[in-house]
């Protein structure tokens, strides 16, 4: 299998929201909304001392919608590489654009330019960043997260999973040791919505200096 270059993955996602409305609708379906609620339930109780929350790759805005519903007092921010997500968010999750500051930028560039935040969160985002870049992205995440890193990503251990149809844009990894200065407080594996891969939810906490 040929691994994608950073350019291939970037261009694919820059165009996804503009060229495939059906895909966007699928990601906002009931099953995916329930997944977002599940993440709020899983991560939320352990990160309640958060004041600033940043999602890398906000996509449809679905995750921030449900986090904000539970924790309206947090200050929200995030990025996405595709300006098309702003129209999707405005249509499907009214009010999200009023509560979150979204920057259209490549993830690595975004991380280098932001200040520290209490919690950095990703859902199905790091799995699109190729091997040549992922270590640097994770180092920058560790440098910018003041308290927690919470992620929900394609996991490398897929005993009963089949090959995903967009394999060339996905990288399955174990993220346990990828954030310097952070310890994994808890993690769990679960099937994807369409049951063709294993996802891992990890919550990392910053170690005392």
Domain limits at 154? 6-206
Tell me if 199 sits within 8 A of 189, measured CB to CB. yes
Residue 71 class from Cβ within 10 Å (0-12 exposed, 13-18 middle, 19+ buried)?
A: middle
For the ranges 59-68, 135-144, 176-185, 187-196, the lowest mean pLDDT is seen at: 187-196
Residue 27 is encoded by which pair of tokens?
């990601």
Domain presence at residue 40: yes
Domain presence at residue 107: yes
Domain presence at residue 88: yes
Q: Structurally, how many domains does the chain consist of?
A: 1
Domain presence at residue 126: yes
CA nearest neighbour of 62 among 84, 42, 83, 40: 40
User: Which pLDDT does position 18 carry in this prediction?
Assistant: 77
> Is 0.95 surpassed by the pTM of this model?
no
> Beta partners for 56?
79
Average per-residue pLDDT for the chain: 87
Whether the pLDDT of residue 204 is over 80: the answer is yes
Domain presence at residue 1: no
Tell me if 158 sits within 8 A of 172, measured CB to CB. yes
Whether the pLDDT of residue 19 is over 90: the answer is no
For the ranges 65-69, 137-141, 192-196, the lowest mean pLDDT is seen at: 192-196
Q: How many residues does the chain have?
A: 209
Tell me if 75 sits within 8 A of 7, measured CB to CB. no
Residue written as tokens 């919608």? 65
Which residue intervals of the chain are DSSP H helices? 6-19, 21-27, 30-43, 62-70, 84-92, 96-99, 107-113, 131-144
pLDDT digit string (tens) for 140-175? 999 999 999 999 998 765 454 444 444 557 788 889
Q: What is the CATH number of the domain that holds 109?
A: 3.40.50.150
Domain presence at residue 151: yes
């Amino acid at each position: 299998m040929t691994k994608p270059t950073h350019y291939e993955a970037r261009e694919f996602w820059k165009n996804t929201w503009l060229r495939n409305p059906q895909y966007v609708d699928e990601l906002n379906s009931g099953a995916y909304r329930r997944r977002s609620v599940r993440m709020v339930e899983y991560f939320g109780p352990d990160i309640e001392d958060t004041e600033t929350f940043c999602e890398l790759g906000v996509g449809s805005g679905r995750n921030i919608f449900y986090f904000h519903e539970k924790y309206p007092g947090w200050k929200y921010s995030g990025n996405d590489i595709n300006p098309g997500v702003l129209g999707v968010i405005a249509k499907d999750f009214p009010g999200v654009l009023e509560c979150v500051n979204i920057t259209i930028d490549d993830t690595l560039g975004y991380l280098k330019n932001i200040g520290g935040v209490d919690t950095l969160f990703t859902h199905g985002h790091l799995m699109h960043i190729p091997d040549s870049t992922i270590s640097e992205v994770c180092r920058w995440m560790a440098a910018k997260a003041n308290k927690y890193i919470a992620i929900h990503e394609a996991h490398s251990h897929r005993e009963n999973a089949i090959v995903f149809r967009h394999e060339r844009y996905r990288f399955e990894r174990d993220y346990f040791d990828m954030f310097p200065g952070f310890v994994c407080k808890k993690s769990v594996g679960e099937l994807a919505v369409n049951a063709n891969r294993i996802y891992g939810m990890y919550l990392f906490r910053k170690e005392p200096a």
